Chain A
Amino acid sequence: MTEWPYKATGIHYLDSAASTQKPKAVLDALQEFYSMHYSNVHRGLHRLAEESTKAYEKARATVAAFLGAHNPKEIVFTSGTTEAMNLLASTYPLTADDTVVVSLLDHHSTFVPWQQAAKRAGATFKVIPLADGRLDYAAAERLIEEGCAVLAITHLSNVTGETIDVSRLADKVHANGGVIFVDGAQAAAHIEIDVQSLGADAYCISAHKLYGPTGIGALYCRQDLLDTLPPYQFGGEMVDQVTVSKTTFANPPARFEAGTPPIIQSVGFSTAIDVLHAHQSDLKRIESLAKDAISRLSALPFITVHSVTEQNPGIISFTMEGVHAHDVAQFLDSKDVAVRAGHHCCQPLHDTFSIPASVRASFGLYNTKEDIDALIAALKECKEAFDV
């Protein structure tokens, strides 16, 4: 039985797409490791350095297995999904003849790095549109056929809760000689990931969105591709030999991990993955909880649901007629219901919906029917309080 210490706050936490709450097992692992096994990793000859190095590399193997990588060397620890995507956008070679494709569903952390990378290279930047609130696959395939050196796309939308058929797009991209880089920040907490069957050339995740600590994430990148990418930051640990006149660099993943890495975070990350594994059967429960929430929200005449209503693993965005999303979220807080309001780092998507902001309720392993009851009751009260 997993313990969730945050429950002591009495808050109905429905903001897991922003960040998840932490199980006691993760908190205990951090405390235990900092207390008894901690030192800097690599090169140290004392036993704490040895223990820390082993734990850090074991975490890499855990993440590799979690994503279905062939080899732990295909895993680079980063500060999170954003850094992983920036690493790719900064190092992947683009020319002015190339086209970079993203989608309207993409989070700013995918959208902006690739928009800027295309701009730097003088490359063309294209955006896959939506059709009826969902990714327009026909348009996607057309764009890819027109030429696509890189497709960067989310696996699970953090606004609409739509799961993208990555393998379908990957086949198309590969047939046209491109690569596909996937933002898995949301998906990794809700869907079993296998980068091989997805056909992803790279896949980026954040630990804090899957019950682990902040400050660490991972980049999976196919080894033959990762080997060709140049260093991204310089410093200790990423070098081979340094002389006054030149420096040669270490092989991946060390080449991309300059400086002291997120050691303690890696311990929390691998513990969180263990917790998530133990809860695989709960993912179905969360999805049916979300389904229930969507049908109860849709039944409220003053609520418009902007998320997909089928096969939504637990990310629901909506607006309340006549009440600004920020007021809804603030009012809900006074009823101990934690949701998010804003554009959720997807401004182009909200522009398409012609709304400045939406309210988002998102689910995690700890949520129950009581949380949805509290949400629905608070929304009714909110409508009453703000009715003009």
Chain B
Amino acid sequence: MYREHLMDHYKHPRNHGELESPTVSHTEKNPSCGDTITMDFLIEDGKVKDVRFRGEGCAISMAAASMLAEELPGKKVEQVVLMPRDEMLELIGVPLTTMRVKCGLLALHTAKKALAKNLGEEAKGEW
């Protein structure tokens, strides 16, 4: 599971940190393992202009957040809110065991909640 690509994102996270004046920001937790991710978004013309994440957690959740943060700039807000979980799992690129799927999806869940908040609606779909 801990292939090079994943470990690279864990050790050298992309878009890590915070934005000075984000359009929207959101924090999500996975209570069963204590992982926490906060994502800041700068939104312009209905698109993600910039994103930063920070948090604490296992290598899977942190690497997944880095991969997502790298992927999101340029995407339409509506598109991210509707992004299927399989797309996130594909991005991670290694098969996750049942217990770890939630870790891999925490960042996407956070992003969806944040951007749905921006659209003034509740995030749809299950985690």
Contact = CB atoms under 8 A, between A and B. Distances in A.
Contact of A326 (B7, B11, B33): B33
Interface in A318-335: 323-327, 330-331, 334
B42 interface: no
A331 B59 CA distance: 11
Nearest to B13: A388
A388 B11 contact: yes
B10 interface: yes
B32 interface: yes
In the complex, which range does the number of interface residues on chain B fall in? Answer: 10 to 19
A45 interface: no
Contact of B58 (A324, A355, A385): A324
Contact of A388 (B1, B10, B33, B99): B10
Interface in B1-31: 1-2, 7, 10-11
In this complex, the member of B11, B35, B59, B60 whose beta carbon has the largest number of chain A beta carbons within 10 angstroms is: B59
Nearest to B29: A356
A121 B69 CA distance: 50
A323 to B, nearest CB: 8
B93 to A, nearest CB: 16
Contacts of B2: 327, 330-331, 334, 385
A342 B7 contact: no
A234 interface: no
A156 interface: no
Interface in B71-113: 97, 99-100, 103
Interface of A: 323-327, 330-331, 334, 342-343, 355-357, 385-386, 388
